[in-house]
Structure formats: structure tokens, C-alpha cells
């Protein structure tokens, strides 16, 4: 362990970590109620009004927090505690914990974002509880909880970055429900794409030759992409749905709409997959005589800029709590989708970890929705929060660790951005 700030011994740091764990356990009931309140009322991206209200109420009822509802976004919030401690002129070390709480259409919290909110809130309570019990805290510590909506659709964290919400943060943490415990996973860069074909209606039996078939364009495009996949790099992903394909069999469809996700390991590769996909969509328009409109999502999701220094510290703390991590780099390179945390990782050093919730069900299934709302998930959720809180305390009390985190972040960002 790096050298600690003056007048804090390794034993005292360990006592602080244990204190954080006790604070999290003591708040276990209210945290579970918070999580289940969010889980019971699934709300879609940018529409998480009840979840926002529950989280704002939660922190407003906790002593010492400054809470801002509707923070920069209608369903975002910020809760801060501190800065406290240290000496006049000391730099503030601002630790951020991120909460997600948007659900999926038709299957509710099938990605367990109610548990992401709980982990973030719990870890923040743990750090605040441990520091607040000190007669004097030798570092100027601040804890910031940021409610970041719309991860599943649109990317609320990206909106918040653009609005300056992450300015002044030194390190950020969040954890995502999964099937295993892993400190890092190679989430992909991603962009949404909506494709609209406009044709010409006609009676499909009487005079089909008068029509221009928008459904044919959609089907041709879908098949173009299906064969394109053979020529894509194995980590690249193109997948989607036909959202609209016509209204009646005897009316040649004059409108069809597709919704696709394009994904690459690095956000610098997104232009290349976009170019290939656009050829598939535009050639289908040419083949059928349709007009085509391509509408990209407002935010590109970045891949995650990993911070191995922080990951290792998190793993060391998690192991003391009995967490068994996947550390095989090959398994960590298997993407579990995308996240707007990737964009955050390019503006603030941080980790987006994954944690087991007591079920082998797969995300984005009804079984996972049930698992995310089950009592069994609570033990794993609070254990993850404790590991995050312990790592935050390491960052606060080990200046060398914080410096190594910063140095790795600067080096990785320079390497990534120089291609
Ligand atoms: N890595 C966490 C996975 C969460 C998730 O499913 N995110 C969505 C984001 C889609 C953005 N358009 C995904 O499909 O990866």
C-alpha cells in the first residue's frame, strides 16, 4: 500500500474501511427500500421521474447532504457532502459515485439499474459515515453522488459531461449488475441509427407496379447488413429491428423504419462501421426507388478508458469481502455491450465494475428483471458498495495511489487519442 497521509496509519485506514462497511449495513433496510421502489416503477430513459424523486428524497432525508433535483437534466440529481477536513489551502479530493435508474421497454429493470442506484447511494453513505465519525479528517474530502439518467437510450452522462457536471471530480465509481464480479470489461463504443424509407402506396393486387415498396427496402437493407457481418472484424457489432413495415397486406408500404446499433471497440472506429452500414441502407433505397433518411442518435457512446491502478485497488478491497473476481484478460475483453460511462472515463479517471447479484440469468431478460428485484441481490449489492467505498477511502488517504491513478489516466488518454 502506498504511504498514507500524515497521521493516518494503515490500521486507522482499515478501521475507516470497516466503519464504512458498518454504515452501509446499518442503512441496508432503507437502501433496499430505495432500490425496490425504483424497481417496482420501471421508467424509460429521460422519463425516470419517480426514480429521481425517490433518490432526491432519500438523500434529502440523510443528514448533511446538499441535494439538487432536476440537476442540469430533468431527471438527473446531484447530492454532495463536504468538503470537510484538511487544512486551509489543501486541495479538495472529490469522489464521485454514479447512479443509473432507467429501465427497458416491456421488461422493466432487466439490466438491474435499480441496483446501480443502490450501489452508488450505499457507497456514498459508507464513505460519508466513516469520515463524518472522525474528530478531524486529515484530507479535504468531498463526496458527490450524481444521478445519471438514460444510459439505455440517449446517454444522460454525455449530456451531463457537456453541461459540466463532472468538473471538479477526481475519481468516479459505479457498478453494473452482471453474472460475475469483474473490475473491467471491454464495453464497446456505440451509436444509434434510425433509418426511414419513403416509397409510394398502391393497391398490392390491383396495380402493384404503381407502388414503391418501402418494406422491400427495409428487408433488402436488413439482408445487406446480414451479409456485411461476414466482412466485419469479430468485435464489431451491427444489430437492429424493423420498427415499422407497413399497415395492411393490400397496401404497398410507403413507409418503413429501422432502428440499429453500430458498435466498435474504439470510438475512433465508429466512422468506419457507419460508412459500411450506410452503403447497405442506401443501396436498398436505390434498388427499390425509395427515398432514405439516416438519423444518428445525438450522442456517441465511447469505449471505456480503463484505469488498471484503480481496478487493482478495487479488487484488493473486494477480495477482503469474499468477492471472487474474473481477472482473465481474455474474458475481460469480451464486451458486455456499451455504456455512456465510457464517455465519463475520458473526462475523469474511474471504474465501471460489474457484480454478481445471486443469479445466472442474463441481462435484458425477464429472468434478470426478477433477479434485480429479489432480496437475494441485496447481499451482493451492498458488498459491492463496501468495496467501492473502501477503494474511495484508499484514494482519499493514499496520495501516491491517487497520483498513480491520475498518471495512468493521462497516459491512457493520450495513447487512445493519438490513435
Ligand atoms: N455495459 C452495460 C450494458 C448496459 C446496456 O445494455 N447498455 C446499452 C446501451 C445502448 C445505447 N444505445 C447497450 O445496448 O449496450
Query: Does residue 1 carry a pLDDT above 60?
Result: no
Q: Would you say the CB of residue 261 lies under 6 angstroms from ligand 1?
A: yes
ipTM over the 0.90 cut-off: yes
**pLDDT at residue 331, rounded to an integer:** 81
Residue of minimum CA distance from atom 12 in ligand 1: 153
Domain ranges of the chain: 2-187+304-417, 189-296
- Paired sense of beta strands 181-182 and 171-178, if any: unpaired
Does the CB atom of residue 337 touch ligand 1 within 6 A?
yes
pLDDT for 210 beyond 80: yes
Task: Answer yes or no: are the C-beta atoms of 285 and 198 closer than 8 Å.
Answer: no
pLDDT tens, residue by residue, 2-22: 688 877 899 999 999 999 999
**What number does the ligand 1 atom closest to the CA of 336 have?**
1
CATH 3.40.630.10 fits 2-187+304-417, yes or no: yes
111 lines ligand 1 (CB under 6 A): yes
Question: How high is the pLDDT of residue 2?
Answer: 63
| Predicted local confidence at residue 97, as pLDDT | 98
The closest residue, in CA terms, to atom 3 on ligand 1 is 337
Measure the CA–CA gap between 97 and 80, rounded to whole angstroms: 10
Cα 190 to middle of ligand 1, angstroms: 9
**Architecture of the 189-296 domain:** 2-Layer Sandwich (3.30)
Q: What pLDDT does 7 receive?
A: 77
| pLDDT, average across residues 222-250 | 97
How many angstroms separate the alpha carbon of residue 396 from the centre of ligand 1? 31
pLDDT in tens, 329-375: 888 888 889 999 999 999 999 999 999 999 999 999 999 999 999 99
What does pLDDT average to over the chain? Answer: 96
The residues, any chain, with a CB within 8 Å of residue 240's CB and separated by 6 or more, are: 193, 222, 225, 258, 259, 260, 261
Cell of 121: 447511494
Q: Which atom of ligand 1 is nearest to the CA of 191?
A: 12
Rounded (10°) CA dihedral 365, 296, 300, 174 = -30
What's the confidence (pLDDT) of residue 35? Answer: 98
Atom of ligand 1 nearest to the CA of 155: 11
pLDDT, residue 5, reads 84
- Helix (H) or strand (E) segment spanning residue 238: strand 237-244
Render pLDDT for 62-116 as a digit per residue (tens, 0 to 9).
999 999 999 999 999 999 999 998 888 889 999 999 999 999 999 999 999 999 9
| pLDDT for residue 400 | 95
Is the C-beta atom of 102 inside 6 A of ligand 1? no
pTM of the model: 0.96
Amino acid at each position: 500500500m502506498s504511504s498514507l497521509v500524515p497521521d493516518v496509519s494503515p490500521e486507522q485506514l482499515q478501521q475507516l474501511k470497516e466503519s464504512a462497511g458498518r454504515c452501509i449495513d446499518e442503512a441496508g433496510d432503507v437502501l433496499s427500500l430505495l432500490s425496490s421502489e425504483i424497481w417496482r416503477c420501471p421508467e424509460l430513459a429521460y422519463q425516470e421521474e419517480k426514480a429521481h424523486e425517490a433518490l432526491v428524497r432519500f438523500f434529502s432525508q440523510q443528514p448533511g447532504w446538499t441535494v439538487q433535483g432536476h440537476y442540469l437534466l430533468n431527471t438527473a440529481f446531484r447530492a454532495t457532502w463536504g468538503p470537510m477536513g484538511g487544512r486551509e489551502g489543501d486541495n479538495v479530493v472529490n469522489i464521485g459515485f454514479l447512479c443509473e435508474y432507467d429501465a427497458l421497454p416491456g421488461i422493466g429493470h432487466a439490466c438491474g439499474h435499480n441496483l446501480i442506484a443502490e450501489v452508488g447511494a450505499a457507497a456514498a453513505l459508507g464513505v460519508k459515515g466513516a469520515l463524518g465519525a472522525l474528530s478531524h479528517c486529515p484530507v479535504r474530502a468531498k463526496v458527490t453522488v450524481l444521478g445519471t439518467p438514460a444510459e439505455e437510450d440517449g446517454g444522460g452522462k454525455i449530456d451531463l459531461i457537456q453541461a459540466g457536471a463532472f468538473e471538479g471530480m477526481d475519481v468516479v465509481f459505479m457498478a453494473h449488475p452482471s453474472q460475475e464480479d469483474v473490475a473491467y470489461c471491454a464495453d464497446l463504443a456505440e451509436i444509434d441509427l434510425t433509418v426511414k424509407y419513403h416509397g409510394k402506396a398502391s393497391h398490392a393486387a390491383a396495380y402493384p407496379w404503381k407502388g414503391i415498396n418501402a418494406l422491400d427496402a427495409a428487408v433488402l437493407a436488413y439482408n445487406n447488413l446480414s451479409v456485411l457481418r461476414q466482412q466485419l472484424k469479430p468485435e464489431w457489432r451491427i444489430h437492429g429491428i424493423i420498427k415499422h413495415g407497413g399497415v395492411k397486406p393490400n397496401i404497398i408500404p410507403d413507409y418503413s423504419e429501422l432502428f440499429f446499433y453500430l458498435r466498435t471497440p474504439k470510438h475512433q472506429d465508429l466512422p468506419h462501421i457507419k460508412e459500411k452500414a450506410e452503403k447497405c441502407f442506401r443501396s436498398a433505397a436505390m434498388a427499390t426507388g425509395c427515398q432514405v433518411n439516416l438519423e444518428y442518435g445525438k450522442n456517441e457512446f465511447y469505449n471505456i478508458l480503463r484505469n488498471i491502478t484503480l481496478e487493482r485497488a478495487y479488487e484488493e478491497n473486494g477480495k477482503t469481502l469474499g468477492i471472487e473476481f474474473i481477472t482473465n484478460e481474455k474474458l475481460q475483453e469480451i464486451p458486455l455491450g456499451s455504456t455512456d460511462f465510457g464517455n465519463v472515463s475520458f473526462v475523469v479517471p474511474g471504474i465501471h465494475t460489474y457484480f454478481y447479484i445471486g443469479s445466472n440469468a442474463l441481462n435484458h431478460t425477464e429472468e434478470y428483471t426478477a433477479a434485480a428485484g429479489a432480496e437475494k441481490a441485496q447481499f451482493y449489492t451492498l458488498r459491492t458498495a463496501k468495496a467501492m467505498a473502501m477503494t474511495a477511502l484508499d484514494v482519499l488517504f493514499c496520495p501516491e495511489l491517487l497520483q498513480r491513478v491520475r498518471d495512468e489516466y493521462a497516459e491512457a488518454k493520450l495513447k487512445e487519442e493519438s490513435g
